[in-house]
Amino acid sequence: MQTEINQARQPSWLRTIIIGRHPRRTLIRIVVIVVSCLLLRAFVVLPILVSGPSMLPTYSGGLNFVNRLAFLGHGPRRGDVVAIRLAGESIMFMKRVVGLPGETVTFSNGHLLVDGRPLEEPYVKFKCNWDFVPERSTLGDDEYYVVGDNRSMPHLDHTQGAAKRERIVGKILR
């Protein structure tokens, strides 16, 4: 008789697995996790879908995440891969920062020159024959020069150039 009463009080194993032994605590945990995820998504981490060949072979496409808080203490640094907002939150470019504010950027015989000196770029695997001076080669106080890693395409087919700091959303998480 006593064992029948104990069995009647104990929840079923399925209910225990799904809800737990304390449903109120489980509900509070679920609410905290959902709110935390929504806040994280809204203010810290932004998922973006990458398509196109401009960042090959470093990024071949797929889902990546942008850290929106990466540049709170400092601005983007040379070599950072960043997300650049074009229109709204749904259209962005993923590019690498190669020129900093006040610098002059040019391409000569396939090499990137910053202030007349060649920049060492170990991430560029596909060599190019670019030879041009960008439209705005000298960057303003709040501008960064960005370009993709895949330089095998003609420079006219490549989206690149000066990006204002306000358009840089954050740093791509690796």
User: Is residue 167's pLDDT more than 60?
Assistant: yes
Domain 46-172, what architecture?
A: Ribbon (2.10)
The catalytic site residues sit at 54, 95
User: Residue 154, preceding bond cis, omega within 30 degrees?
Assistant: no
Domain ranges, ordered by start, for the chain:
2-41, 46-172
What pLDDT digit, counting tens, does each position of 72-91 carry?
999 999 999 999 998 777 78
d(CA 83, CA 110): 25
**pTM of the predicted model as reported, rounded to 2 decimal places:** 0.79
What pLDDT digit, counting tens, does each position of 23-71 carry?
888 889 899 999 999 999 888 998 888 888 888 888 887 889 999 999 9
